[in-house]
Amino acid sequence: GQNIDQPTEMTATEGAIVQINCTYQTSGFNGLFWYQQHAGEAPTFLSYNVLDGLEEKGRFSSFLSRSKGYSYLLLKELQMKDSASYLCAVMDSNYQLIWGAGTKLIIKP
């Protein structure tokens, strides 16, 4: 079966760095997405990785290792507004997104 695993909840301190991991097992692979979802709002796109390596975009970076079925989202210089759920999703061979349950990130002052 297809499976996306990510931690349910993480806590970090304002100004610090946090890494949210995602492991996957899917039927084929056409890229991995990270989305941010604030409570009561729709998900918004953060990053897309299809090749191995690190993609940096401001305070957020996303890493992919296809051989290990592994990705992480790195958030630097955490701000209170970063408190949200972070969803990992993999596009399978049918170009369908398989979604993880999301990681709720709590930022403390």
Partner 1 sequence: GAGVSQSPSNKVTEKGKDVELRCDPISGHTALYWYRQSLGQGLEFLIYFQGNSAPDKSGLPSDRFSAERTGGSVSTLTIQRTQQEDSAVYLCASSFGTSGSYEQFFGPGTRLTVL
CB 88 within 8 A of CB 71: yes
Interaction pattern, residues 72-101, with partner 1; x per rule: CB under 8 A: ---------------x-x-x--xxxxxxxx
**Is residue 49 within the footprint of partner 1 (CB under 8 A)?**
no
Q: Which is nearer to partner 1, 17 or 101 (CB)?
A: 101
105 lines the binding site for partner 1 (CB under 8 A): no
Residue 70 in the binding site for partner 1 (CB under 8 A): no
Q: How far is CA 44 from the centre of its chain?
A: 12
Per rule CB under 8 A, is residue 45 in the interface with partner 1?
A: yes
Least distance CB 79 / partner 1 (angstroms): 22
Q: Which candidate, 107, 58, 77, 60, places its Cα nearest to that of 15?
A: 77
Based on the shown chain and the rule CB under 8 A, indicate whether residue 51 belongs to the binding site for partner 1: no
Q: Which residues bind partner 1 (CB under 8 A)?
A: 30-31, 33, 41-45, 48, 87, 89, 91, 94-102
